[in-house]
Every structure is written in C-alpha cells, then in structure tokens.
Amino acid sequence: MLNINIEDGENENAYLIQEDKLGYIEYANAYLKTLMINNFEKMLINIFHIYMLVTFEILFYFYYIVKIEKKEILDIILSFASQINNFIDITNKEKQIIITKSKNICDNINNNYYDKTNNELFETAMNIILISTAIMFILFMVHIYMFKNMKRLFKIIFSSLFFLVIVGCFEYLFFKNIVLDYRIIDNNIAICYFTKGLN
C-alpha cells in the first residue's frame, strides 16, 4: 500500500513537472512569436525607408540631375570656347583647319557607344527598383498575413512617404541652391590651364 502511494506521488510529481515544462515552452513560444512580430515590423519600416530613398535617388538622378549636369557642362564648354576665341589670334585658314580636325574627331566619336553605356546604366537602375519593389510587395503581404490589419500597414507606408517628402525637398533645395551654384572651375582658370598646357 505504501509502495503504491509513493509511486502515485512520483507519477503526480512527474505530471506536474511535465505540465510546468509545457507551460514554459508555451510561454517561450509566445514570447518568441511576439518578439518576432515586433522586430519584423521594425525591420519592415527600416527596409521600406531604405527602399524609398534608393528609388527616389535613382529617379531624381536620371530624370533631373543628368539633364541639368549635361546642360551645365555644355554651357561651360561653349563659354570657354568663346573666351579662347578672343585670346588666340589665328587666321581664317588656320581656323578652318581646326574646325575640320574638330569635326573629324567628333565624327569618329561613337555616340552610340556612350548612349548604349548610359542606357545600360539606366536599365540596371530600373531593374534595381523593380526587384526591390517585388521584395517590398512580398514583405507587405507577410505583414498583412501576420497582423491582419491594413490600417497598421497604411500607417507604415504614409509615415515613410512623409519621411521621403522631407528628404526629397531637402535634396532638391540642396542641389538647386548649393550644387548648381558651386563652381569647380571658371573660364579664366580654364584658359590659364589651357595656355599652360600649350607650353
């Protein structure tokens, strides 16, 4: 009789220990799930911010900066050429020889090569946007599956868009008021280096 009670007591203790273990496992699982959910949302916010910045930078560069830079460079070259024309005294015949040589050089430049390289760079940049957009779409779907709350997702998207608008305005104003006004070289310095190169 005593043996049975001891065995029953041991079985009962074993069952309580087992129950405690199950409680700890369930608690650990719940804790890990909560941790994963919270960290996923933080990670999603950070990744979306990076995605928005990368997309903005690529589009801003190819659709705005490239055109302005090209115009600025051409304006500087034409202005420099007209200044050089005032400094160098050459006959019409010599001028004609320079123009012909210049035309030959220009004709030999393979514009298609440069256009092709630039188009390849543009396509690569657009592919980066396309791939990152697909990744963001998958992450948004995972977020919807985990939280089942569209309002929560829209809050993340709109807060990121607000962040992007602020960064975009700063980038635009910085480029317009600082970068475009900064002069690395002017006509006089260009002429100075050009004439030094002739020596």
pLDDT tens string 6-38: 444 445 444 444 555 556 777 767 777 777 777
pLDDT of res. 98: 76
Instruction: Calculate the alpha carbon distances from 12 to 19, 24, 92, 116, 192 in Å.
Output: 10, 18, 114, 79, 98
pLDDT of residue 137: 95
Give the residue from 167, 163, 172, 168 showing the smallest Cα distance to 65.
Answer: 172
CA torsion sign for 64, 56, 167, 156 is positive
When pLDDT is cut at 50, 70 and 90, the band that residue 182 belongs to is confident
55, pLDDT greater than 90: yes
- Rounded Cα distance, 140 and 132, in Å: 12
* Spatial separation of the C-alpha atoms in residues 165 and 177, rounded to whole Å: 18
Burial class (CB in 10 A: 0-12, 13-18, 19+), 194: middle
Report residue 92 as tokens: 């019409």
The pLDDT value given to residue 9: 46
Mean pLDDT on 125-142: 95
Answer yes or no: pTM beyond 0.85. no
* Residue 112: predicted pLDDT: 60
The predicted-structure confidence for 80-126, as pLDDT tens digits, reads as follows: 777 777 666 777 777 777 778 777 767 666 566 667 778 889 999 99
What share of the chain has pLDDT > 70, as a percent? Answer: 72
Q: What is the reported pLDDT for 189? A: 72
| Rounded average pLDDT over 134-146 | 92
To 10 degrees, what angle do helices 150-174 and 2-60 make? 30
Q: What are phi and psi of 64, to 5 degrees?
A: -130, -60
Q: Does residue 56 register a pLDDT over 80?
A: yes
pLDDT at 194 > cutoff 90: no
List CB contacts of 72: < 8 A, sequence separation 6 or more.
180
Output the pLDDT for position 102.
Answer: 74
* pLDDT at res. 16: 45
